[in-house]
Chain A
Amino acid sequence: MNDTSLIDRIICAASRAWAGDGEVLATGIGIVPRLAASLCMSTTNPDLMMTDSEAWLVREPVPVGPRGDYQLQRETWMGFSRIFDNVWSGRRHAMVGPTQVDRYGQANISMIGDDYRRPKVQMLGVRGFPGNSICHANSFFVPQHNRKVFVEGEVDMVASIGYNPARLPRGYSFDDIDIRQVITNLCVLDFGGPQRQARIVSLHPGVSLAQVEEATGFPLWSSDTIVETPAPTAAELALLARLDPHNLRAAALGA
């Protein structure tokens, strides 16, 4: 399957992550998560709230890239300080792009290496991952599914809490942690296996179970019948063309 049809299929699959969420802030960091959230708000969940990715809540998703004469449809101010008010209320579901994810769903965008004081590779820092992960639902998008991302042990810096019994705070249960979907270039995962084990939800066309297992550093739970990630509908494709008029998504899987 070529990259163009694959990326559209991935975005449409990712858009379903918010379908049953009701009235929450949908935050998609990066082009694929943002288009997925935009598509969901335009189709299955019109109650979603989205921002212009800067400082305003808008009543319809803002197309990505240069906007021409497009006018923002502002609803309210939503600067960073108010984003945190929303985060702490729990009325948010973010889809983010971690550099590492482990078997517990713990994620890392901070640094790579064994020595925290002197990282092999310094990345962004933990950003809002710790607060997001303890306050509201989170999904992940991983453009290149491999063992560098889906690591064998724990991630090098646990930036977001996952289903790790050894790290569960006093008075907390796994029900307080809400990791939803993990959408990759190979498949869709969630943590719906026994004891919140990572589970294969669907495989993209032409991808085998063995291929996903080979590319993942930890065991995955799978049922006997694994479905194929559904193809986009004509209506979804038409909406995507409007939400991404410059076709920025074409390069989203990297090379």
Chain B
Amino acid sequence: MTNKQMSAADVVAQLRDGMTIGIGGWGARRKPMALVRAILRSPLKDLTIVAYGGADVGMLCAAGKVRKLVFAFVSLDAIPLEPYFRQARQAGAIEVSEIDEGMMLLGLRAAAMGAPFIPTRIGLGTDVIRHNPEIQVIGSPYDGRDWVAMPALSLDAALLHVDRASVRGVCQVKGPDLYMDDLFARAARHTYVSCDELVDDAWFGAGEEARYVFWERAVTTGVVHAPGGAHPSSCAPAYGVDMAHMKLYAASAREEGGWNRYAERYIAAGEDAYIDAVGGIDAIRKLPLPVY
């Protein structure tokens, strides 16, 4: 029986400069932040990131890890504009492929299907097509209309955070929304999943637990036990967004050298030190769920 448990550092050791990496979650919700922090601690660089972006994207931009960003938005939800993403864009520091949220879904689905593209109306008549010359508008053999041929967003790796997983790679999400995590998992050659709780396989056999498992374990490459691993994003129903931390993080972007001070205080010393620095796992699990 394959045991897929590994450390966050093991995950990063399997990644390479220049890779295309998809990051699950949505804005400030269920982001694999422990894995992102492990990348921030590494020399990894020149990444192409595909994400419904939040602080994951902002931090990777701040640390100079991003060569290209494929995005529809980057936002901290309650703080609408992600400060380090904005700085990177306004400095012209990153290449971007800005697409619609639904186009990203279709690109991931195309990759998951092994199809080169999926036809869609999305993007027609907009600057999304003008600024993404690699995205072709094609004629349909059936209706004589223009269609956008949304290309497959094939990922070298996907990074996800889930509520629970077993060492065999069975993953469970009990929050109200899966976002596109299942599509990220299937669009990637390798899918690395951090989990708040590591459970025995028998967990999924009880009651309706298996209904909250959204991809089969063969899709999962590695499992990292990272309690509080989504912090400062939410991992509903276990914990909400740490708004105080988000504010502190966003405020750091307004100071000269703010990112370096943030990274030194919270990132540099490792994940255990991070959890301590933000108040400990018990405090994280008491963070109230956001009301939208």
Contact = CB atoms under 8 A, between A and B. Distances in A.
B92 A80 contact: no
A255 interface: no
Contact of A124 (B73, B131, B139): B73
B67 to A, nearest CB: 14
Interface string B86-116: 1001111000001111110100000000000
Most buried by A among B85, B90, B91, B102: B102
The contact size tier of chain B is: 35 or more
B122 A130 contact: yes
A81 B126 contact: no
B121 A135 contact: yes
Contacts of A124: 73-75, 80-81
A116 B131 contact: yes
B111 to A, nearest CB: 15
Interface in A51-73: 52-56, 65-67
Contacts of A122: 81, 85-86, 89-90
A133 B98 contact: no
B145 A171 contact: yes
A148 interface: no
Interface string A116-158: 1111111111111111011100000000000000000000011
A171 B146 CA distance: 7
A87 B26 CA distance: 18
Interface residues of A, number: 50
Contacts of B131: 116, 157
Nearest to A79: B177
A214 B157 CA distance: 53
A159 B126 contact: yes
Given A84-B105, A161-B125, A169-B137, A126 B72 contact: yes
B72 A133 contact: no
B264 interface: no
A118 B91 contact: yes
Given A131-B102, A157-B131, 5 more contacts: A79-B176, A84-B105, A119-B90, A158-B125, A158-B130
Interface of B: 26, 71-75, 80-81, 85-86, 89-92, 98-103, 105, 120-128, 130-131, 137, 139, 143-146, 176-180, 183, 291-292
